[in-house]
Amino acid sequence: MPLDEVMDAILGSARPSGSEEVELVEAAGRVLAADIMSDTDMPPFDKSAMDGFACRSTDLGRPLRIVETVAAGGMPEKEIGEGECARIMTGAPVPRGADKVVMVEDTEEEGGIVRVTRRSADDNICLLGEDIRAGERVLEKGTLIRPPEIAVLAAAGRTSVPVTEAPVLGIAVTGDELTEPGQSAVAGMIRNSNGPQLMAQAAGAGLPSEYLGIVPDEPGAVSRLIERASGRIDVFIFSGGVSMGDYDFVPGGLEESGFEVLVHGAAIKPGRPLLFGFREGDWAFGLPGNPVSVFVLFEIIVKPFCFRLMGHEYRPLEVTARLENDFVRKAAARTAHIPVRLTPDGRAMLLDYHGSAHIHAYTRADGILRIPARIEKLKKGDEVRVIVPGPPRLASGS
Ligand code: AMP
Ligand code: MG
């Protein structure tokens, strides 16, 4: 199945989650479940943008008498008349009569009289309601809540926020060869990299997760684990055991547990045996066991899927870069992903990379170069697309 059809099948199976109300500061990383309206104008009054003197713009050529001082949080008591000014602080309400704040750096003051020494065109006043009007929508349902959205919610007077429920990820790794990092590695054993990697990826995406441990390569083990955890988990993620080997029990396990398999096999590299299925209220991914496959597939497929469940259209950031090296491959049937290093001037450098077991290559990479199916060769200087894994961001196109 080509990558775009895989994405359509997986994203298309998502059902919107319910919603809950959380405390404002707990809302970071979540997705708004409703439009948010402002209860006030922003700014709520004509506000000085500078420390200086509020006066009439027609009076700049003459000495100005200081009639009062207005601090942030205070209210002016006097109206500014001809030849008058008020000393004013950043964030303080501008007195009536004044249409300009001259910044203190552009003045000289002596004995309660101010002279303007330098004229600027800027009025240094943030006008009432110039950012947002009371009753206006400040944030749209489906918005990912990041620190600036938290700031806007606070300014709109929200102490709690309606957000969609976040799916709980259940992370399990399969393989009789696996030992946990804390155990001593016996001959023939491989340390479990994928469990900790997936937990870190879930945490990086702000998604709650539970580690479900190592599943042995034997019939029945996968379905037993699913039944044990199913009340608590929304999205199961298995690593390993999804290919066609004699000991690959994940596809059968999902079917035993009543999952309908929508994807098994994808024209992507790494990740050909990718498995995805769903049953009422639960979803399951089977990712091939090599750590690079797990890393890449989580970033490009699992994360967009989890955000779709929450009602937010997330795609990883994709940038255009100039390739710094020549690239050739023999088989080009699949969309390939390889590690690259990005330079500040927009070049992508290939790294030493031995294939999907070589996760160490990604410790030097900051991007995933995507090579579309049927492209066999790339030359130095060619324009390429690079996926930059990272924290959740705005939906593409917005
Ligand atoms: P599999 O997809 O089960 O055939 O595994 C493919 C390769 O990935 C094998 O070499 C496994 O030993 C390796 N592998 C599987 N699971 C893990 C894991 N959790 N951590 C590190 N390597 C793994
Ligand atoms: Mg295996």
Give yes or no for residue 197 CB within 6 A of ligand 1.
no
Phi and psi at residue 69, to the nearest 5°: -120, 130
- CA 295 – CA 287 distance, rounded (Å): 9
Using alpha carbons only, give the angle 75, 79, 84 rounded to the nearest 5 degrees. 115
Residue 281 pLDDT: 84
Residue 397 pLDDT: 42
Residue 184 pLDDT: 83
Q: Are 312 and 149 in contact (CB under 8 A)?
A: no
- Ligand at minimal distance from the CA of 244 is 1
pLDDT tens digits for the chain (398 residues)? 999 999 999 999 999 899 999 999 999 999 999 999 999 999 999 999 999 999 999 999 999 999 999 999 999 999 999 999 999 999 999 999 999 999 999 999 999 999 999 999 999 999 999 999 999 999 999 999 999 999 999 999 999 999 999 999 999 999 999 999 988 878 999 999 999 999 999 999 999 999 999 999 999 999 999 999 999 999 999 999 999 899 999 999 999 999 999 999 999 999 999 999 999 989 999 999 999 999 999 999 999 999 999 999 998 999 999 999 999 999 999 999 999 999 999 999 999 999 999 999 999 999 999 999 999 999 999 999 999 998 776 664 43
Which atom of ligand 1 approaches the CA of 241 most closely?
Answer: 3
Give yes or no for residue 270 CB within 6 A of ligand 1.
no
Residues in the chain, overall count: 398
Q: Which two tokens stand for residue 116?
A: 């303007």
Q: Are 359 and 239 in contact (CB under 8 A)?
A: no
Report the 10 Å Cβ neighbour count for 96.
12
Which residues make up the environment of ion ligand 2, defined by Cβ < 5 Å?
A: 175, 240-241, 289
Cis peptide bond prior to 270, omega within 30° of 0: yes
Q: Are 86 and 78 in contact (CB under 8 A)?
A: yes
Give yes or no for residue 286 CB within 6 A of ligand 1.
no
Give yes or no for residue 356 CB within 6 A of ligand 1.
no
Residue of the nearest CA to atom 17 in ligand 1?
A: 289
Give yes or no for residue 273 CB within 6 A of ligand 1.
no
Give yes or no for residue 176 CB within 6 A of ligand 1.
no
- CA 206 – CA 71 distance, rounded (Å): 41
Report the DSSP beta bridge partners of residue 47. 93, 126
Instruction: Determine the 3-state secondary structure of 173 from DSSP.
Output: strand
Residue 392 pLDDT: 73
Cα of 219 from ligand 2 centre, angstroms:
13
- Ligand at minimal distance from the CA of 217 is 2
Residue to probe by mutation, ligand 1, list 177, 186, 190, most atoms within 8 Å of CB:
190
Residue 395 pLDDT: 61
